[in-house]
Amino acid sequence: MSYSIFHNLEIKASPKKVFDAVSQPKHLDNWWSLKSSGKPEVGSEYNLNFTEEYNWFCKVSALKTNESIHFKMTKSDTDWNSTTFGFDLETKEKETLVKFSHINWQKDNHHFKHSSFCWAMLLNGLKNYLEKGIIIPFEDRN
């Protein structure tokens, strides 16, 4: 049995702007990671650096430009290693519906539940970044 995290949110921005914010390192660093690298291409490796202790890697496992991107974790902590997270984007009238998923967790433990909470907070940060230009300093993100 595996466990999954799902969050849906609407962002007042075009699918292209949302896609860039969840796939381009220069944008990821404004709402999620401390320093990241990678290219939005299937098979491309991303480095997601949060601290020296949390210097993780993943690969793009699925991609449709401006529609969806999914990342398979390759080097992270034990709980995240088996997981894949991603963003599916759906065009609405003046906004984009973001369907976020983080699937294949092996345990329904504290880390799984804490990660779900953190994703909700980070996705709200993504929304504020795209809608209002707010960048929360890395050390203030939870």
pLDDT digits (tens, 9 = 90+) for 72-126: 999 999 999 999 999 999 998 899 999 999 999 999 999 999 999 999 999 999 9
Look up the CATH number of domain 3-140.
3.30.530.20
More confident residue, 46 or 140: 46
The residue whose two tokens read 């007042």 is 12
| b/e map 119-142, b = 16+ CB within 10 Å | beebbebbbebbeeeeebeeeebe
pLDDT of residue 99: 98
DSSP-H helix ranges across the chain: 15-23, 25-31, 78-81, 110-132
Q: pTM for the whole thing?
A: 0.95
Element spanning 141, H or E? none
Query: pLDDT at residue 142 above 80?
Result: no
pLDDT at 58: 98
Task: Please give the mean pLDDT across all residues of the chain.
Answer: 96
Buried b (16+ CB within 10 A) or exposed e, 44-79: eebebeeeeeeebbbbbbebeebebbbbbbeebeeb
Q: State the pLDDT at residue 80.
A: 95
Mean pLDDT of 31-53: 97
pLDDT recorded at residue 76:
96
Ordered by start, the domain boundaries in the chain are 3-140
Per-residue pLDDT at 141: 82
